Amino acid sequence: MPKSKVRKKKDYTINPANRTPVKVNAGPSPIWYVALMLGFMVVGLLWLIVYYLAADDIAFIGNLGAYNFLIGFGFMVVGLVMTMRWR
């Protein structure tokens, strides 16, 4: 039986023209950004705690029902998304 030919693969080389440096704005985040980010997370946590403990005493929170979870976790998610831009 005849032997099949072995194909030689070309070596992979990176084209240096495609590697352009990117300037990164690497300054630290301002203090108000960090405070706002943590504030959103704390407000979301407090909203859920107040909902569980005082939903019967506070009328508008009790009327929202399950939307309280959306509001509380929504605040926390906004804070967590802000952490991606934190330096």
pTM: 0.68
Instruction: Report phi then psi at 24, rounded to 5.
Output: -110, 130
pLDDT beyond 70 at 58: yes
Q: Is the dihedral of CA 52, 45, 70, 60 positive or negative?
A: positive
DSSP secondary-structure letter at 58?
S
Q: Are 29 and 18 in contact (CB under 8 A)?
A: no
pLDDT digits (tens, 9 = 90+) for 26-39: 689 999 999 999 99
Structure confidence at residue 15 (pLDDT): 66
Q: If you average pLDDT over residues 20-28, what whole number do you get?
A: 73
